[in-house]
Amino acid sequence: MKRSAELRALSSDHHRALVLAKQAKQATAENEAALAKLWLEIERAYRSELEPHFAIEERYLSEPLMELGETALVERLHKEHRRLRSYFATDADHSLNALHAFGELLARHVRFEEREFFNIAESRLSTEILAAVEHTSEHRQP
């Protein structure tokens, strides 16, 4: 299914997210320094790309979808966002296993958004709400 223009920027974010997910899932670490460096690179991408993406979805799509009765869909979105955020908490496990788990979760989350969340949003939300998402997505700081 072709993505609507209003959600195209968010959908495009998913390509980069899948690259990060693959990088995390396939990571190998010869030593602690290499693992720490990789986690730092992933965290930078999380803070600059993923977190702003999550914030737009939560700010502009969650409440209107909840009002339309899409509770389970929105609850799953929020639960997965919380789990993804937890990998970047101060006391988070930054082991190789945790990196692989993060990659798996991120890949599953992207598939959920593309196959379910965005499809429901496009079919149920008003043009005005979707236009606000488009405007905000296009005017994010790189």
Residues 135-140, mean pLDDT to the nearest whole number? 83
Dig out the tokens for 135 from the structure.
């405007």
What global pTM score does this model have? Answer: 0.93
The pLDDT of residue 79: 98
Mean pLDDT of the chain: 93
- Quote the CA–CA distance of 132 and 61 in Å, as a whole number: 10
CA 106 to chain CA centroid, Å, is: 7
Residues 105-110, mean pLDDT to the nearest whole number? 98
The pLDDT of residue 102: 98
Query: pLDDT-derived band of residue 3, with 50, 70 and 90 as boundaries?
Result: confident
In percent, the amount of the chain with pLDDT more than 70 equals 98
